[in-house]
Amino acid sequence: MLREYIMALFKRTDTRQLMQFKPPTLPQRIYTKALLVDNIHYGRYCQEIDWPANASMHPLYLQTMSLPLQMQCLLDKQSPFPLLGLIHAGNHVSVLGDCDLSEAFECRVRFHDVRPHARGWEVDVMLEARQAGLLVYRAVSSYLVKVKAVHVAPRTLPSEAHNECDVEEKALIGEVSLSPDTGRRYASLSGDYNPIHLSALTAKAFGFKKPIAHGMWTLARALSAFVSHNSKASANGTESVCHITEIACRFKRPVFLPNDIHILQHCKTDSDVLLDVTNDDESATHLSARIEFQ
């Protein structure tokens, strides 16, 4: 996707739309592509993020592979948003049916929503994937566009929805060491060659003291730890692997490379769980996610 990043350097945006009180107008174009999973590539992806071999398709794989379509969407000539400088703020993924890795996925990407944020605008790009005409997968990526304008929403207080549960001890389900080349390895798999992930030199050019891990790598690795930790051996000697159906994630702090992270779960029920990714002393949270599973 080097071509897309070069185009992003020269993309002109109508910043007047971003400075208005009302939300900017979203382009209506839908970008489509038939995606046939390469088993070798998928195997490399699973190895990189430690996904169990006997589990169903990793719930972030299709969203990762749709990145070229997402970039085309963000580069739309009618889009007022700059591609470079966007902050990946969150993900919401729904696995709606059985995803057959041997059959092609019909992928469609489009702008979905935009809303005011305390630091600018937050815009959603949505992927929908179909097989045999049935919608089997939906994923929404939320991006923050920082701008100083009169529209900005007031800062909200932290949610108290899980206060009663949060006092319970969190269970450590994974400890991961990220090497200096984590960003470059994942870039070669995902095609996301954003300079902030590749080296200290290129990251500093965009205001970061060190390269940072891709948010999608960190979230994918956390999901792998959850599935591995919660798999159960059945009476006949086989392993029962839980199936993730829904993910709602917010990214909070970048993970600078190299680094050590902890993956914790809490508030677990028979159908959902909260995950946090923190630094190694658990004093700062990099991302928080709510997972639904079967």
Q: If pLDDT is split at 50, 70 and 90, which confidence band does 160 have?
A: very low
- Tokens representing 58 are 């990793």
Q: Residue 182: in which H helix or E strand, if any?
A: helix 182-190
> Do 1-156 and 162-232+243-294 show the same overall fold?
yes
| Structural domain boundaries in the chain | 1-156, 162-232+243-294
**The whole model's pTM is what?**
0.89
Average of per-residue pLDDT values in the chain: 88
270, 289, 269, 268: which is closest to 278 by C-alpha? 289
Q: Which CATH number fits domain 162-232+243-294: 3.10.129.10, 2.40.50.140, 3.40.190.10, 3.30.530.20?
A: 3.10.129.10
Percent of the chain with pLDDT strictly greater than 90:
69
Residue 158 has pLDDT above 70, yes or no: no
pLDDT of residue 11: 56
Q: Which of 4-8, 38-42, 117-121 has the highest mean pLDDT?
A: 38-42
pLDDT in tens, 96-108: 999 999 999 999 9
pLDDT of residue 130: 98
Judge contact between 279 and 260, C-beta under 8 A: yes
**Each residue of 45-98: pLDDT tens digit?**
999 999 998 899 999 999 999 999 999 999 898 888 887 778 899 999 999 999
In the CATH hierarchy, which fold is given to the domain comprising 1-156? Thiol Ester Dehydrase; Chain A (3.10.129)
pLDDT at 240: 78
Helix (H), strand (E) at residue 70: helix 67-74
Lowest mean pLDDT among 37-41, 195-199, 236-240: 236-240
Closest CA to 8 of 159, 206, 224: 206
Can you give the three-state secondary structure of 9-46, one letter per residue?
HHCCCCHHHHHCCCCCCCCCCCEEEEECCCHHHHHHHH
Q: First vs last Cα of the chain: how many Å apart?
A: 35
Q: Report the distance separating Cα 99 and Cα 66, nearest Å.
A: 15
Q: Give every CB contact of residue 279 below 8 A, 6+ residues apart in sequence.
A: 259, 260, 261, 262, 286
| Residue bearing the bigger pLDDT, 7 or 154 | 154
| DSSP assignment letter at 169 | P
Residue 145 has pLDDT above 50, yes or no: yes
Q: Rounded CA gap, 174 and 219, in Å?
A: 12
Q: In this model, does residue 161 exceed pLDDT 60?
A: no
More confident residue, 283 or 168: 283
- d(CA 233, CA 110) in angstroms, rounded, equals 42
